[in-house]
Structure 1
Amino acid sequence: MAARSYGQYCGVVRALELVGERWALLIVRDLLVGPRRYSDLKSGLSRIPTNILSDRLKDLQAAGLVHRVPVARCGLVYELTPYGRELEDVILALGRWGFKAMTGPREGEEVTADSLTMALRTAFDPAASRRVPATVFTLHVGDVTLVARSDAGRLDVVAPSRGPVPVATPMGDGDRLEFAAAPGIRDLIAGTVTPADAVASGAAEVLDGDVRLLERFAALFHLDAAVAA
């Protein structure tokens, strides 16, 4: 199925032949959040041409990474196969590595529900979660709203506005905090900005709940900051 051959007998080469084409890994990233209809994938990857999205989905299906399954009230959706889900650790590791090269958003760059969900999963520290009580965070970044529940080393994230495609929903009791943040939330996650400074600068605004829970949020996530020059 590969559009190109690198002419080498190597596992890295085979991986690139399967998911190295442009947009392929971002489709996998979004499907790691949950099953998606074609329209969901197109909406989440607004710059992908429709013919490229169709081609990539066909390639991923031919490689055994994605299949189509019927879902009540949704029709057919795209879903990762068990083989495709094995890419989760790869995607999370790649996200942690790429985070070091990130600064603020460049002009025209957007934050989507799926990209922010995977960013939280990338940065989540299960050990830190086990040290604090269960907490439910409602996070607003631009037009994106997520609800994330941390409890005993586990993180569940859902976008309430997501359509009828089923996703895991955070349930249960816990302390609650609702806050809004700019895309610069990466600095809070990296620890380069304290919660107090984020609130003082307007980069974060507590909408409901104890402001001290913003410190708990920051403690639950960790990513290395920028690459040294």
Structure 2
Amino acid sequence: MRTYGEGCPAAHALDLVGERWSLLVVRELLLGPKRFTDLRAGLPAASANVLSLRLRELEAAGVIGKRRLPPPAASKVYELTEWGRELEGAIVLLLRWGARSAAIPFDAPMSADAVILSMRSLFSPQSAQGFDAAFELWVGDRPFIAEVIDAQLVLAPGRPEHPHAVIRTDAETLKRLTLGGRSLDVSMHAGRVTVQGDQAMAERFLGMFRLPEPAAASASAGAV
């Protein structure tokens, strides 16, 4: 592992998680344990060898651990340690900060976890005033609880008991619906999303996420 060779805690943090793909591995584990194949699916541009190396480095640093699930699954999964989970705040700040870039490649793919975490980060409490509801949100074959209570968002793996609507879609369409302003009707007609239950409430919920205004360019940018 390369090192900055500094006693600064920030430099040491980058020693531990600053290598390419390391923080994205953390991002992919924030919503729960995953098998190696799941991580590969969420990070398709990372080679198997590089991903294996990052997992070993993060495990050696105490950021992640691994365990074997009991039968019948009996597969090995990776998960964040308690200390590793503390990186969620840093990931959320990076999501919000990066969303203000005018050059963000919005057309590039995002994993389901990245979309869900972006929704958590870019939720607009102002748009949720007076709106309390629960939704069962399926992204591919993964269910999520999506609840808005007192203008606060709860978005986590699982299924609510009494949802107002069940929304089923894929990660790319969900990204377009929540962060890209795509119409729910258009996506439904295209067969990219289905809604069982109160469609009007589902449409309002999907509109409660906003990309921030791009950061203003520095007045001194380009100055000699």
Which string of whole-angstrom CA distances, capped at 9 and with x for unpartnered residues, describes residues 140-179 of structure 1?
6xx687644214335234xxxxxxxxxx412221321537
Which residues of structure 1 form unaligned runs of 5+?
158-167
What letter matches 2:19 in structure 1?
Answer: E
Match of 1:160 in 2: none
The verdict on how the C-alpha distance between 1:103 and 1:17 changes in structure 2, with shifts beyond 3 A counting, is closer
Q: Which moved more, 1:177-186 or 1:21-30?
A: 177-186
Confirm or deny: 8 A CA contact 1:64 1:81 kept in the other structure: yes
Confirm or deny: 8 A CA contact 2:147 2:153 kept in the other structure: yes
Q: Using structure 1 for the length normalisation, give the TM-score.
A: 0.74
Return the alpha-carbon distance in structure 1 between the equivalents of residues 86 and 179 of structure 2.
29
Return the alpha-carbon distance in structure 2 between the equivalents of residues 119 and 113 of structure 1.
10
Post-superposition shift, 1:184? 3.3
**How many pairs align?**
204
Return the alpha-carbon distance in structure 2 between the equivalents of residues 88 and 182 of structure 1.
22
The verdict on how the C-alpha distance between 1:187 and 1:66 changes in structure 2, with shifts beyond 3 A counting, is closer
Match of 2:221 in 1: none
Match of 1:218 in 2: 207
Which string of whole-angstrom CA distances, capped at 9 and with x for unpartnered residues, describes residues 99-126 of structure 1?
11255534xx323222222222222356
Q: Which moved more, 1:179-188 or 1:131-140?
A: 179-188
Match of 2:155 in 1: 156
The verdict on how the C-alpha distance between 1:34 and 1:5 changes in structure 2, with shifts beyond 3 A counting, is same
2:178 maps to 1:178: no
Which string of whole-angstrom CA distances, capped at 9 and with x for unpartnered residues, describes residues 66-116 of structure 1?
00122221422101000000000100110111111255534xx32322222
Q: Which moved more, 1:72-81 or 1:52-61?
A: 72-81
The verdict on how the C-alpha distance between 1:154 and 1:11 changes in structure 2, with shifts beyond 3 A counting, is same
Post-superposition shift, 1:222? 4.0
RMSD: 2.9
Percent of pairs with identical residues? 30
The verdict on how the C-alpha distance between 1:151 and 1:172 changes in structure 2, with shifts beyond 3 A counting, is farther
What letter matches 2:207 in structure 1?
Answer: A
What letter matches 2:26 in structure 1?
Answer: V
Match of 1:135 in 2: 134
Return the alpha-carbon distance in structure 2 between the equivalents of residues 35 and 171 of structure 1.
20
Q: Using structure 2 for the length normalisation, give the TM-score.
A: 0.76
Match of 2:109 in 1: 110
Residue of 2, 8, 15 corresponding to 1:4? 2
The verdict on how the C-alpha distance between 1:75 and 1:116 changes in structure 2, with shifts beyond 3 A counting, is same
Return the alpha-carbon distance in structure 2 between the equivalents of residues 93 and 110 of structure 1.
20
